[in-house]
């Protein structure tokens, strides 16, 4: 997040503040956290979730660990997209790397590793993240002001990435299993949801281009609260309940509103409050309206069956479905970006 002054409407200049830690360090920490959560999913959650035995078969939500691992990978990709500041070639490289990590996840899943295999995976993830974070560092050749200029063209990309992370945070917090009694499910769902929520807030702040004092004062407590809510939702009740589902939907809506407020601009608080109400109303109707048709398409094309076969895991029983929910966060987040971009772009601070 750049801390340089930026000109605004009517000649007014904002007073940006410096974050209490360097921006690159914050992004690298999120890359490391995403890699660790993914490794935790591979080495600790996967053995708990995978059916065993010669006649083993899957049921609805059997492969819940896959949802959480892929949620961590989405978080990793979002952080890297933010780090490269929206450059087309850099984003293409991030997408290729993301595809490589997905392939690596399937290969590691197929060989059912023990905890000792996690270390090289984490090291590789950190190296990829560190390499990606050198892109914004290269812009420092032109000084701090150059960083601010570099950030502006990538605002739309960062905003879309933030909304993908927000949608993913809600989806992983809702993750269920056939029995819903595994303590690893509770811990993994809360941990991944918390990570994705924090990433959504950070990406939303980056989408503003420049961090003003007002935006910083909103981002810090918003990040703390966003990271806390998934834990409260998951541990409020072990079995899934209507209250937890509605609470998770409300959490996702509020998270989207926070992302819009962080990424957008507006000269008066009243305008921003009105925008927040409209964004919340749009999101409340858009989330189920987008989730249901995409879920049906996923079931029709049997995407889960393909990934389960590639990983060499037992197939899901014909009476059930092998549903992959976390990947729906990507189209949902991108469509939310199209619906909500008018509240972010083209308005002076």
Cβ proximity of 263 and 204 under 8 Å: yes
- The answer to whether the CB of 30 falls within 8 A of the CB of 198 is yes
Q: Whole-structure pTM over 0.75, yes or no?
A: yes
Q: 156-184 pLDDT, tens per residue?
A: 889 999 999 999 999 999 999 988 888 99
- Cα gap 71→192, rounded to integer Å: 7
Give Cβ neighbours of residue 234 (< 8 Å, ≥ 6 apart): 173, 186, 189, 190, 193, 244
**DSSP string covering 123-182, please?**
HHHHHHHHHHHHHHHHGGGG-HHHHHHHHGGGHHHHHHHHHHHHHHHHHHHT---SS---
What is the secondary structure of 269-319 as a DSSP string?
HHHHHHHHHHHHHHHHHHHHHHHHHHHHHHHHTTHHHHHHHHTTPPPBPTT
| Lookup: tokens for 30 | 């999120």
DSSP 153: G
pLDDT tens-place string over residues 281-319? 999 999 999 999 998 888 788 888 888 888 888 888 877
Question: Distance (Å, rounded) from C-alpha 343 to C-alpha 144?
Answer: 27
Nearest-CA neighbor of 176 among 234, 228, 226, 110? 234
Q: Which residue has the higher pLDDT, 332 or 21?
A: 332
b/e string for 47-72 if b means 16 or more Cβ within 10 A?
Answer: eebbbeeeeeebbbbbbbbbbbbbbb
pLDDT of residue 291: 93
Q: Which two three-digit tokens encode residue 272?
A: 């921003």
The confidence band for 152, taking pLDDT boundaries of 50, 70 and 90, is very low
For 233-285, how does the pLDDT look when each residue is reduced to its tens digit (9 = 90+)? 999 877 888 999 999 999 999 999 999 989 876 544 456 778 889 999 999 99
CA pair distance 4, 2, nearest whole angstrom:
6
Give 108 or 262, the one with higher predicted confidence: 262
Backbone angles phi, psi at 127, to 5 degrees: -65, -40
The 10s digit of each residue's pLDDT in 183-221 is: 999 999 999 999 999 999 999 988 887 666 777 778 889
Mean pLDDT across the chain: 79
Q: Which residue has the tokens 């303590």?
A: 183
The pLDDT of residue 48 is: 85
């Amino acid at each position: 997040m750049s801390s340089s002054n930026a000109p605004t409407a009517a000649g007014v200049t904002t007073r940006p503040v410096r974050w209490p830690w360097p921006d690159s360090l914050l992004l690298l920490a999120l890359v490391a956290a995403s890699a660790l959560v993914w490794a935790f999913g591979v080495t600790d959650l996967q053995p708990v979730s995978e059916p065993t035995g010669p006649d083993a078969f899957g049921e609805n939500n059997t492969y819940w660990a896959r949802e959480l691992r892929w949620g961590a990978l989405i978080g990793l990709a979002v952080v890297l997209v933010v780090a490269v500041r929206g450059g087309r070639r850099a984003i293409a490289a991030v997408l290729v790397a993301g595809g490589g990590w997905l392939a690596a996840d399937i290969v590691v899943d197929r060989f059912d590793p023990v905890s000792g295999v996690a270390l090289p995976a984490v090291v590789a993830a950190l190296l990829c993240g560190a390499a990606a974070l050198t892109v914004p560092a290269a812009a420092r050749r032109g000084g701090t002001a150059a960083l601010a200029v570099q950030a502006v063209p990538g605002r739309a990309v960062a905003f879309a990435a933030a909304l993908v992370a927000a949608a993913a945070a809600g989806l992983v917090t809702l993750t269920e299993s056939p029995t819903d009694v595994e303590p690893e499910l509770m811990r993994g769902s809360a941990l991944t949801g918390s990570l994705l929520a924090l990433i959504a807030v950070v990406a939303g702040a980056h989408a503003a281009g420049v961090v003003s004092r007002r935006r910083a004062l909103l981002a810090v407590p918003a990040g703390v609260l966003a990271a806390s809510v998934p834990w409260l939702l998951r541990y409020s009740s072990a079995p899934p309940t209507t209250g937890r589902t509605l609470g998770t939907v409300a959490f996702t809506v509020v998270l989207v509103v926070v992302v819009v407020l962080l990424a957008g601009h507006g000269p008066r608080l009243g305008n921003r409050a009105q925008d927040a109400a409209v964004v919340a109303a749009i999101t409340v109707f858009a989330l189920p309206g987008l989730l249901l048709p995409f879920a049906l398409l996923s079931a029709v094309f049997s995407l889960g069956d393909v990934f389960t076969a590639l990983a060499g895991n037992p197939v899901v029983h014909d009476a059930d479905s092998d549903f992959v929910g976390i990947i729906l966060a990507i189209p949902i987040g991108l469509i939310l970006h199209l619906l909500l971009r008018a509240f972010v772009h083209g308005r002076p601070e």
